[in-house]
């Protein structure tokens, strides 16, 4: 039994983190648009109606399957640290907010390039719904209203953010209309003149000047140097499917390493949700995260080839290292804060598929809105280690390692599954659980999304949703894990969306009740 029905459709399907975004994507499909048009329409709406999770001042990553080439392309729409950055400016800790925490926004170029490469409708039509919601307003959701209050202390410190999210002299409440006229004007300029409006045009001039006036160091040179990367995606064979993941600077290699390790094990002989399966997957996760901590960084600046982590001999050695008892292993800092990110999946009637994730990093990013532009800045710079000797050490012109990653699995030359989730470091853990549920255990997409989840941060502590039976939690503890019980539906484990392409060509979609996502098709 699931809390929501699986959405089934024959002509196209969109599963996103907000119902208005899903509606915008579906309208693009109905209007003759491709999966890319629908994904960009939905992503742009998310950047308007979910400012606590994403913004055009943030980043995006995507995997795109094209039926013409029958190939998967990776889009890395993340930005670099400003070239005028002083790596010693933060001392031993980053501040809580401010323009100094922003990397160059990459989402704008990423969306524009996706439409240019694979779209049919044109950028102006793809951005039209987002422009309308920014100009005319949208009803604030319960989740957004709660997030505004929760981050009120940070938002109050920025004049633009305080006025934007508290236009009536108090924080916007659920059901009230929230308008963003400056953002509407910015989006309109991008719809008219493309990415050049921001990266090399008058809008970029105003943005860079305004950023400088509020303490940031992103300048015109940083903007004009930015490009969307299209690196070769990572992929592995898993149970007869070809699973594609995001290459660095994304940490999508963690998911593929996890799957590569368990591919050599008979998971189907274990009961789904059993202590044995949970333990095995958690210990596998620890190994893949340890490899990330030891090696991962911007491959343009450090010697890191993620494909070495997927080499058969290396994977076999890691498989042998899976512990029979819970292991103690150092992780990269506290991961308890839920990620402020959102994910969407789209498939069109021709079988084109997009798996896309976008983020402003922390809640409301840097909690700083650039005056005159309506652009909420990311705080992605805090994704760097302040140890400049580390592979992911802070440096000018370098991109931080991103938790953002997406998944597409092909059966033969056609897509079989498109899925992903927000959740920072939970992403590659939840995607691991989704992949095993969908592929190894043949679950329906909505069922796989709604199954109880575990989440590991560090050491032997393992967080498990309360819906795991008490007997299972006790058996997990007997294997050496220190079990901490989460709520029934813990947001920290993500907010997944997924689409399955059935053998008859129809689509099945699911959305996570842990957040406010929705799937719809026609």
Same domain, 167 and 274: no
Question: Is the dihedral angle over the CA atoms 11, 414, 408, 240 positive or is it negative?
Answer: positive
Same domain, 303 and 379: no
Q: Is residue 1 part of a domain?
A: no
| Beta strands at 353-361 and 369-370: parallel, antiparallel or unpaired | unpaired
Residues of the chain with confidence (pLDDT) below 70: 329-339
Which residue out of 341, 342, 406, 430 is catalytically annotated? 341
CA angle 429, 430, 433 (to 5 degrees): 90
Same domain, 224 and 256: no
Same domain, 110 and 246: no
Same domain, 223 and 321: no
Q: Do residues 60 and 357 touch, judged by C-beta distance below 8 A?
A: yes
Q: Is 139 exposed, middle or buried (0-12, 13-18, 19+ CB in 10 A)?
A: middle
Same domain, 139 and 288: no
Same domain, 362 and 267: no
Going from the C-alpha of 330 to that of each of 114, 291, 364, the distances in angstroms are 38, 11, 29
Assess whether 430 carries a catalytic annotation: no
Query: In this predicted structure, what is the pLDDT of residue 316?
Result: 93
By residue range, what is the domain housing residue 429? Answer: 234-327+405-521
Q: Do residues 238 and 439 touch, judged by C-beta distance below 8 A?
A: yes
Same domain, 312 and 176: no
Same domain, 21 and 146: yes
Query: In this predicted structure, what is the pLDDT of residue 122?
Result: 96
Report the alpha-carbon distance of residue 429 to residue 452 in Å, rounded: 13
Nearest to 493 by CA among 459, 458, 450: 450
* Helix or strand (DSSP H, E) at 139: strand 138-139
* Spatial CB neighbours of 111, under 8 Å, sequence gap ≥ 6: 40, 43, 44, 60, 77, 126
Same domain, 424 and 359: no
Same domain, 64 and 208: yes
Q: Which tokens sit at 306?
A: 């993620």
Q: Is residue 339 part of a domain?
A: no
Partnered with residue 234 across adjacent β-strands are 245
Number of domains the chain is built from: 2
């Amino acid at each position: 039994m699931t809390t929501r029905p699986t959405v089934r459709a024959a002509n196209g399907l969109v599963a996103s983190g907000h119902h208005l975004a899903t509606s915008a994507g579906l309208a693009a499909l109905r209007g003759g648009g491709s999966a890319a048009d629908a994904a960009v329409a939905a992503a742009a709406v998310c950047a308007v109606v979910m400012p606590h999770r994403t913004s055009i001042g943030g980043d995006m990553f995507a995997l795109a399957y094209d039926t013409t080439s029958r190939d998967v392309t990776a889009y890395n729409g993340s930005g670099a640290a400003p070239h005028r950055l002083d790596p010693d400016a933060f001392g031993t800790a980053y501040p809580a907010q401010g323009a100094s925490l922003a990397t160059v926004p990459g989402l704008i170029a990423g969306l524009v390039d996706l439409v240019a490469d694979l779209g049919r409708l044109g950028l102006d039509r793809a951005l039209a719904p987002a422009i309308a919601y920014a100009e005319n307003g949208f009803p604030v959701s319960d989740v957004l209203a709660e997030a505004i209050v929760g981050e009120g202390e940070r938002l109050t410190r920025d004049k633009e953010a305080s006025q934007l999210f508290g236009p009536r002299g108090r924080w916007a409440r659920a059901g009230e209309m929230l308008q963003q006229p400056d953002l509407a004007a910015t989006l309109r300029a991008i719809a008219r003149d493309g990415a050049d409006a921001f990266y090399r045009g008058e809008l970029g001039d105003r943005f860079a000047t305004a950023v400088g006036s509020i303490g940031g160091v992103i300048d015109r040179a940083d903007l004009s140097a930015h490009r969307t990367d299209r690196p070769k995606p990572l992929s592995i064979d898993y149970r007869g499917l070809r699973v594609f993941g995001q290459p660095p600077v994304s940490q999508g290699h963690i998911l593929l390493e996890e799957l590569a390790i368990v591919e050599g094990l008979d998971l189907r002989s274990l009961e789904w949700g059993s202590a044995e399966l949970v333990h095995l997957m958690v210990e596998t996760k620890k190994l893949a995260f340890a490899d990330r901590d030891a090696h991962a960084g911007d491959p343009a600046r450090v010697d890191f080839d993620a494909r070495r982590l997927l080499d058969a001999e290396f994977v076999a050695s890691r498989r042998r290292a899976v512990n029979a008892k819970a292991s103690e292993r150092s992780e990269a800092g506290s991961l308890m804060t839920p990620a402020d990110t959102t994910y969407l999946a789209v498939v069109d009637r021709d079988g084109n598929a997009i798996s896309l994730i976008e983020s402003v990093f922390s809640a409301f990013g840097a909690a700083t809105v650039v005056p005159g532009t309506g652009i909420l800045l990311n705080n992605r710079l805090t994704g760097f280690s302040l140890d400049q000797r580390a592979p992911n050490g802070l440096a000018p012109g370098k991109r931080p390692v991103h938790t953002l990653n997406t998944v597409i699995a092909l059966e033969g030359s056609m897509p079989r599954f498109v899925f992903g989730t927000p959740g920072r470091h939970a992403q590659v853990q939840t995607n691991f659980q989704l992949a095993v549920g969908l592929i190894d255990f043949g679950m329906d997409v909505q069922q796989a999304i709604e199954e109880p989840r575990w989440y590991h941060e560090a050491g032997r502590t393992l967080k498990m949703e309360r819906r795991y039976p008490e007997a299972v939690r006790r058996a997990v503890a007997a294997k050496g894990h220190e079990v901490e019980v989460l709520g029934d539906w813990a947001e920290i484990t993500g907010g997944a969306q997924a689409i399955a392409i059935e053998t008859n060509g129809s689509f099945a979609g699911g959305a996570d009740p842990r957040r406010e996502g929705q799937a719809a098709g026609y």
